[in-house]
A and B are shown apart, each in its own frame.
Chain A
Amino acid sequence: MARIVGGLTTSHVPAIGRAIAKGLEQEPYWKPFFDGFLPVRAWLDDVKPDVAVVFYNDHGLNFFLDKMPTFAVGAAPEYRNADEGWGIPTLPPFKGVPELSWHIIEHLVDREFDITTCQEMLVDHAFTLPLKLFWPHGECPVLTVPVCINTVQFPLPSARRCLALGRAVGEAIQSWDSDKKVVVIGTGGLSHQLDGERAGFINKPFDLKFMDSLIDEPEWATKYSIHELVEKTGTQGVELLMWLATRGAVPGRVRKVHTNYHIPISNTAAGMMAMEAV
């Protein structure tokens, strides 16, 4: 059976794409953010996962308000990036692994998650940039399964539901008849708000507590409603749902490989965590 090696979580701000394209990783503004990935890349070099299942939220590249699935699972042989309208470079396509996608889909529906399946799916910066951050050189070496969670249009799925979704995805991966090593990735957050007079909102103590909680107490954030999470983390900080799903997918206890937290990247408190399944 396939084995889950761990979970990785990171912010996915579009400006990261511009910084990579311009080679600004060691500029003073960017260095504290990019250097946080070095220990994680060393861990990945050691563990060498074959597949990444990626929880992310689309920002209006693949999905529009005409059809807005709460949970969508990619089931394509490849996933293309495309123009998002603000001028960050488009990355080459990412390879899919349809056998695992369909195994996850079967298992999720069996566990009463009524998902949307996508045999074509454009992936935006929230999917592409984290993969580029974890594997910066050349073609992305892992096969991928994107799982998109709606954070555009309310009502959003609850924190409890996203943790449960993650757990069900984890069960599916572990019951996949394959010798592949799988890493689970969640992208988004941490606290930030782009819209309204409250733009620029950041909540450092909440972010740090949330990061801590993912190691030993992943249920901690599920006591909050979506409304409370927006209040505490901002309208886009609620993307921490991807982190919860990721932690849910990694079974049992985890060991902290590395964490990083830096204020600000663009308007965002940028967080990163690498957790190894033990």
Chain B
Amino acid sequence: MAARQPASIPGTTLFDGEQARKGYALNKMCFSFNSAEARAEFRRDEEAYLRKYGLSEPQAKAIRERNVLGLLAAGGNVYYLAKFAGILGLDVQDLGAAQTGMTKEAFKARLLAQNAQPDQLQEEHWAWQESSVG
């Protein structure tokens, strides 16, 4: 039985095997930022640090440009990228604002506005009822 390919989720890249392979060097560098010494070494000579971890050109470019969507496209995983953001003094709301093209204030206001969502879940007609025939 061939697995049905689910429709992609807008604005979302699942960090699967393909992304994990593509992003390995970038994520490994970001994982190193758990250590204060590594963070200091990166700050001292960013280019040397990128070379040390063998980042690809798109990965290095996205790091230089602080381009969050570019880092994701280059295989970055947000859990590791958050450690890079930590070096820059950015939190996840800064990242959210950067990725959605909003100001941080607007992004925060949009989060708060989610309180207006309804309490009751409208359940869909289940997909299994359609697929169970096949």
Residues of A at the B interface (CB closer than 8 Å) are 15, 59-61, 64-65, 82-87, 152-155, 193-200, 202-206, 208-209, 223, 225, 227-228, 230-231, 235-236, 263-264, 266-267, 269
Contacts and interface: CB of A to CB of B under 8 A. Distances in A.
19 contacts: A15-B91, A60-B30, A60-B31, A60-B34, A60-B83, A65-B28, A82-B34, A83-B35, A84-B34, A195-B72, A195-B78, A197-B69, A198-B9, A204-B118, A204-B119, A227-B14, A230-B12, A263-B114, A269-B114
Contacts of B117: 202-205
The SS class assigned to the B binding surface is helix
Contacts of A225: 6
Interface stretch (B44-52, B53-61, B95-103): B95-103
B28 A86 contact: no
Nearest to A61: B34
B82 interface: yes
Given A83-B35, A84-B83, A195 B13 contact: yes
Contacts of A235: 12, 14-15, 78
Contacts of B35: 83
The SS class assigned to the A binding surface is loop
B121 interface: yes
Given A153-B16, A205-B122, A200 B34 contact: no
A85 B121 contact: no
Contacts of B82: 59, 85-86, 194
Contacts of A205: 117-122
Contacts, number: 143
A203 B114 CA distance: 8
A188 B106 CA distance: 25
Given A197-B69, A204-B114, A153 B119 contact: no
A51 to B, nearest CB: 28
Given A200-B96, A203-B117, A263-B115, 18 more contacts: A60-B30, A64-B31, A83-B36, A84-B83, A86-B85, A153-B20, A194-B82, A194-B92, A196-B99, A202-B111, A205-B117, A208-B119, A209-B120, A235-B12, A235-B14, A236-B78, A266-B91, A266-B92
Interface string B75-119: 001111111011100011101100110000001001110110111
B119 A263 contact: no
